[in-house]
Amino acid sequence: MTTATTPRTGTRAPSVGTARTRVEGREKVTGAARYAGEIPFAGLVHGWLVLSTVAHGRIRALDTEPVLAMPGVLAVLDHRNAPRLNTDFASLLGMRPDPTCAVFQHGRVPHRGWPVALVLAETSEQAREAAESLVVHYEEEPHDTDFGADRPDAYRADGIMPAVTEKGDLEAELAAADVVVDAEYTTPEEHHNPMEPHAATAHWDGDRLEVFDSNQGATWVVGDLANLFSIDPATVRVRSEHVGGGFGSKGVRAHQVAAVMAASVLRRPVRVVMTRRQMFTLIGYRSPTVQRIRLGADADGRIRALEHRSLSATSTVFEFVEPSSGVARVMYDADAHRTENRVVRLDVPSPTFMRAPGEAPGSFALESAMDELAVACGQDPVALRLRNDAERGPVSGLPFASRRLSDCFREGARRFGWADRDPRPGLRRDGRWLLGTGTAAASFPAGVAPSTATVTAHPDGRFTVRIAAADIGTGARTALTLVAADALHADPERIHVRIGDSDFGPAMIAGGSMGTRSWSWAVQTAAQEVRERLALGTDIPAEGITVRANTAEAIGALTPAERHSFGAQFAEVAVDPGTGEVRVRRMLGIFAAGRIVNPLTARNQLLGGMIWGISMALHEEAVRDHASGGLVGADLAGYHVPTHADVPRIEADWIDDPDPNDPVGIKGIGEIGIVGAAAAVANAVWHATGVRHRTLPIRPDRVLSAAAREGAPDA
Amino acid sequence: MATSTSSVVTLHINGEKFTLPVDHRTTLLDALRERLTLTGTKKGCDQGQCGACTVLLDGRRTVSCLQLAVAAEGREITTIEGVADGDRLHPVQQAFLDLDGFQCGYCTPGQICSAIGVLREHAEGRPSAVTDDIRPEAGPPPLTPEEIRERMSGNLCRCGAYVAIVDAVAKAAADPRATGAATVSEEDVA
């Protein structure tokens, strides 16, 4: 495919748009890259979190005496002796902190797996055994973890967007429609599960607090820690050189706070690493959703009524809204258009942002409903989407800065071989397998947030870029190297990008698909000024010439517009009607997602998102046991994520779509890959079997029971 | 000095000998990471479910979180720090680097050690669950993407770099150095 046009940079070939292996790649393939829990410290103390074994109640007593007498145990922190924390502040993202991270402040237990104590010992073996030996007595109270559409206590909630949008007379337009789709879709509780467990090592170096941490933004963590402990942010330094995945889960969590508390009490370096099982209650997750969609259309498929309602769950201590109906506010317009996000409070852990929050579950519902509408209208699913491509924001009325959705569908359909598709379901066989194909649309906001960066020109012709960015696997470090190279008219080999250090000044987090764009803007601005100064023939002193940039003003001057990435997903599946097994055979995603800085890492990231879509469609599901209030099988054996054998050769590509208002043309690609991917798979399962699956994941037992119920082709 | 809860062990790691007292509860993984600062081997789940801690034990793939350090005494342990030939990367490492067979990098050492084990097992003619002809005399099956995926399925990558990982293993398999270098000699295996 074509790549973005590149600004002229003299005779030097541009670096942005060229495939580059990761600058830290050698460290990662040799094991030399050190992650947060791997920095050696003399006199290191190991902290092990103890979590509640009841879902609701109050701590009556903790039998700490016998634990303190165990070998190597130094202290036990709990709500009776822990330092007090301040939670009355708004964090970098404008939200109050999730009280789950404000550990040991009271004896109440709002969910199973709530942190109740931290055991500190000389070795990890000692800490673990002592933590597992700690007996905690509870006054247990009844709990309620039962999520479902019929909750009378659900309420409308804003979260990151208004709860409700509304225009036109929905019931009248539905009544006037030739074709109506009215269906309910459910998605399960899903967990991030980055491969690197959350880990932090905290220590006081004089009056400076140093934290080596695994996070998505050092600025974010410094701000929250300084507020929580009521200390000057300038005295806190957070470093995260390498981060083993995040997906929304790596903000301020119980581990950093517990480590800082313990380091303050013991005045020794303290490391706290979560176990995989602890991650299932401490780091947030994607709420389950129940979504109802009503679409009313003319016989030719033009949508005249659209309603998207979503219900999600949150904890009793923190309101997080999974904004699933938000995707309908961007994708399709209608004369009557209504969207709503509601939430219900349960005795469960707090959910949080997880890769494409809102869009991921929302697009499953909306794009499945679009497929149902295509069937009901006798329209081709691609043609239906082309017909309903919005010209302006359906809710905002604002123009789209760019919207190449239809081009993605045309290109994807051509490459996937969509034109030859027989729309009738349940007809194609390959041995025992039923085959089908499906498609879905994707969108994700293209946002940007203020950041600062410095660029230093050294006398030897080299440059150092410093920015508190986080490379959680996105390839940000490499992308920023390429962006700086073009702005400086220099070879990437001469540029050293340093990230993951709060001392580099405030910067956006790796989140919301905004990291690389936000950081690139700052790096490009500083680098350009450095080049302009060097062009004057200035002598470079030994300490170099350093320019700091802050993008707050430039970003504040952006004119209002609908700014999004778009994409078209295509999937082919095989379904075994005898066992209910679903296999994805091939998949193609075509995206219009801004200028692609590094095709090598960008393709990898888009494919990773699509694999998350396969996972969402077929594998992932956290099952809650309402008797205990906890999860069943909260580990990587019980919670399924795809492995090699689940993933065929899938393809991701893009069409030229530079953002017209970004200095580099970037939109952000971290999340668009998952959006619509699960719906494409589910729609392909319908095409294979003739059975519509409105509940994820599409497990073998669901395929078999649905086939028995609906009379689908059998084995 | 040995006690009822600890012993002095000598571990053979990447061609070097390390003698150290270890708590009997210490896993090989924790001994590597916390006692010997060989942190290239990663802890993803500590339950044998993710493969991030994969090392080669006498040339065979092993999840080091399910292996006690005291039980590894006398065995040849190869970790990610020991697979390269000095500054020259192992062909599997080079292929992962060139083809971008990773994102966050945390599962990567385990994927690479596992892939080295896969290539050796394959060269020895060991079948997998997707091998058509499993007769001993059939020899190694074609190392198709399906064979690679099946054999690598003990190693999870949450970033979803699977497509590039399979390409990298296939590319490395074509390098004659991939099955021989930096693992153990035949005598050691016997």
> Do residue A31 and residue B25 have CB atoms under 8 angstroms apart?
no
pLDDT higher than threshold 80 for residue A498: yes
> Do residue B45 and residue A636 have CB atoms under 8 angstroms apart?
yes
Active site residues of A: 671
Closest CA to B164 of B113, B108, B109, B118: B108
pLDDT higher than threshold 80 for residue B68: yes
> Do residue A636 and residue B98 have CB atoms under 8 angstroms apart?
no
pLDDT higher than threshold 50 for residue B186: no
Q: With contact defined as beta carbons under 8 Å apart, do A446 and A661 qualify? A: no
Q: At what angle do helices A599-618 and B162-173 cross, to 10 degrees?
A: 120
Q: State the pLDDT at residue B172.
A: 98
Residue with tokens 């313990």: A262
> Do residue A473 and residue B47 have CB atoms under 8 angstroms apart?
no
Write down how long chain A is: 715
Token pair for residue A193? 């599960």
Average pLDDT over residues A405-421: 97
> Do residue A275 and residue B104 have CB atoms under 8 angstroms apart?
no
Name residue A239's amino acid.
R
> Cα separation of A118 and A172, whole Å?
59
Closest CA to A657 of A10, A13, A26, A17: A17
> Do residue B106 and residue A607 have CB atoms under 8 angstroms apart?
no
Closest CA to A378 of A275, A452, A300: A300
CATH superfamily of the domain spanning B91-188: [2Fe-2S]-binding domain (1.10.150.120)
Predicted confidence band of residue A9 (pLDDT cuts 50, 70, 90) = very low
pLDDT higher than threshold 70 for residue A230: yes
**Closest CB to B162 among A124, A276, A647:** A647
pLDDT higher than threshold 60 for residue A7: no
Predicted confidence band of residue A715 (pLDDT cuts 50, 70, 90) = low
**Closest CB to B145 among A125, A193, A649:** A649
> Do residue B97 and residue A29 have CB atoms under 8 angstroms apart?
yes
Q: How many other C-beta atoms can be found within 10 angstroms of the C-beta atom of residue A60?
A: 11
Q: State the pLDDT at residue A11.
A: 65
pLDDT higher than threshold 60 for residue B108: yes
Q: With contact defined as beta carbons under 8 Å apart, do A181 and A291 qualify? A: no
Predicted confidence band of residue A1 (pLDDT cuts 50, 70, 90) = very low
| Residue B40 at interface with chain A, using a CB cutoff of 8 Å | yes
| Residue A604 at interface with chain B, using a CB cutoff of 8 Å | yes
pLDDT higher than threshold 60 for residue A6: no
Nearest CA in chain B to A585: B146
B74/chain A closest Cα distance in angstroms? 23
Q: State the pLDDT at residue A103.
A: 98
Q: How many other C-beta atoms can be found within 10 angstroms of the C-beta atom of residue A218?
A: 29
A23/chain B closest Cα distance in angstroms? 10
Q: How many CA atoms lie within 13 A of A415 on its CB side?
A: 23
As a dihedral over the C-alpha atoms of residue A470, residue A473, residue A474, residue A480, rounded to 10 degrees, the angle is 50
Q: A429: which residues sit within 8 A by CB, 6+ positions away?
A: A435
pLDDT higher than threshold 80 for residue B190: no
Predicted confidence band of residue A94 (pLDDT cuts 50, 70, 90) = confident
Q: Tell me what ipTM this predicted complex has.
A: 0.96
> Cα separation of B130 and B150, whole Å?
7
Average pLDDT over residues A396-422: 97
What confidence tens digit (pLDDT) does each residue in A637-683 have? 999 999 999 999 999 999 999 999 999 999 999 999 999 999 999 99
A contacts of B96 (beta carbons < 8 Å): 25, 29
Q: Identify the H or E element spanning A336.
A: strand A336-345
Closest CA to A189 of A361, A70, A339, A40: A361
pLDDT higher than threshold 70 for residue A2: no
User: Poorest-confidence range of A86-100, A450-464, A540-554?
Assistant: A86-100
Pick the CATH number of A2-34+449-556 from 3.30.365.10, 2.160.10.10, 3.40.50.300, 3.40.50.450: 3.30.365.10
Percentage of chain A exceeding pLDDT 90 = 96
| Residue B120 at interface with chain A, using a CB cutoff of 8 Å | no
Q: State the pLDDT at residue A710.
A: 83
Q: State the pLDDT at residue A10.
A: 52
Average pLDDT over residues A546-553: 98
Average pLDDT over residues A25-37: 98
pLDDT higher than threshold 80 for residue B3: yes
pLDDT higher than threshold 70 for residue A3: no
Bond from prior residue into A700 cis (ω within 30 degrees of 0): no
| Residue B164 at interface with chain A, using a CB cutoff of 8 Å | yes
Domain boundaries, chain B: 6-82, 91-188
Average pLDDT over residues B90-114: 98
> Do residue A31 and residue B152 have CB atoms under 8 angstroms apart?
no
Q: With contact defined as beta carbons under 8 Å apart, do A110 and A281 qualify? A: no
Q: State the pLDDT at residue B180.
A: 61
Q: Which residues of A332-348 are buried (b: 16+ CB within 10 A; e: fewer)?
A: bbbbbbbbbbbbbbbbb
Pick the CATH number of B6-82 from 3.10.20.30, 1.10.10.10, 3.40.50.300, 3.60.21.10: 3.10.20.30
**Closest CB to A195 among B152, B158, B164:** B158
Q: With contact defined as beta carbons under 8 Å apart, do A522 and A530 qualify? A: no
**Closest CB to B45 among A247, A475, A635:** A635
B residues 60-119 closer than 8 Å to A (CB): 79-81, 84, 89, 93-94, 96-98, 100, 102-109, 112
CATH topology of domain A45-142+195-245+250-282: Aldehyde Oxidoreductase; domain 3 (3.90.1170)
Task: Return the bridge partners of A564, or none.
Answer: A445
Phi, psi (degrees; rounded to nearest 5) at A17? 100, -5
A–B interface: beta-carbon pairs under 8 A: 179
Chain CA centroid to CA A4, Å: 26
Residue with tokens 């099988």: A633
Q: How many other C-beta atoms can be found within 10 angstroms of the C-beta atom of residue A695?
A: 16
Task: Return the bridge partners of A441, or none.
Answer: A568
Best of B78, B96, B104, B146 to substitute, by most chain A Cβ atoms within 10 angstroms, is B104
Closest CA to A495 of A471, A526, A450: A526
Say if domain A155-189+286-446+561-710 classifies as CATH 3.30.365.10.
yes
> Cα separation of A372 and A349, whole Å?
34
> Cα separation of A488 and A372, whole Å?
52
Sign of the alpha-carbon torsion through A275, A276, A277, A282: positive
B contacts of A37 (beta carbons < 8 Å): 43
Token pair for residue A113? 């797996």
Q: With contact defined as beta carbons under 8 Å apart, do A405 and A348 qualify? A: no
Q: How many other C-beta atoms can be found within 10 angstroms of the C-beta atom of residue A239?
A: 21
B37/chain A closest Cα distance in angstroms? 7
A contacts of B38 (beta carbons < 8 Å): 31
Predicted confidence band of residue A193 (pLDDT cuts 50, 70, 90) = very high
> Do residue B104 and residue A244 have CB atoms under 8 angstroms apart?
yes
> Cα separation of B157 and A621, whole Å?
18
> Do residue A195 and residue B159 have CB atoms under 8 angstroms apart?
yes
pLDDT higher than threshold 80 for residue A201: yes
> Cα separation of A131 and A135, whole Å?
9
Average pLDDT over residues B41-64: 98
Q: With contact defined as beta carbons under 8 Å apart, do A497 and A490 qualify? A: no
Q: A24: which residues sit within 8 A by CB, 6+ positions away?
A: A33, A242, A471, A477, A478, B105
Q: Identify the H or E element spanning A478.
A: helix A476-488
> Do residue B166 and residue A644 have CB atoms under 8 angstroms apart?
yes
Q: With contact defined as beta carbons under 8 Å apart, do B16 and B28 qualify? A: no
- CA angle B6/B10/B15 to nearest 5° reads 150
What confidence tens digit (pLDDT) does each residue in A515-549 have? 999 999 999 999 999 999 999 988 999 999 999 99
| Residue B22 at interface with chain A, using a CB cutoff of 8 Å | no
Average pLDDT over residues B48-56: 98
B contacts of A247 (beta carbons < 8 Å): 158
Average pLDDT over residues A609-633: 97
A contacts of B158 (beta carbons < 8 Å): 192-195, 245, 247, 641
Q: What is the location of CATH 3.30.365.10 in chain A?
A: 2-34+449-556, 155-189+286-446+561-710
**Closest CB to B109 among A31, A126, A604:** A31
Q: What is the mean pLDDT of chain A?
A: 96
> Cα separation of A659 and A107, whole Å?
51
Maximum Cα interatomic distance, chain B, rounded to a whole number of Å: 53
> Cα separation of B185 and B190, whole Å?
9
> Cα separation of A488 and A478, whole Å?
15
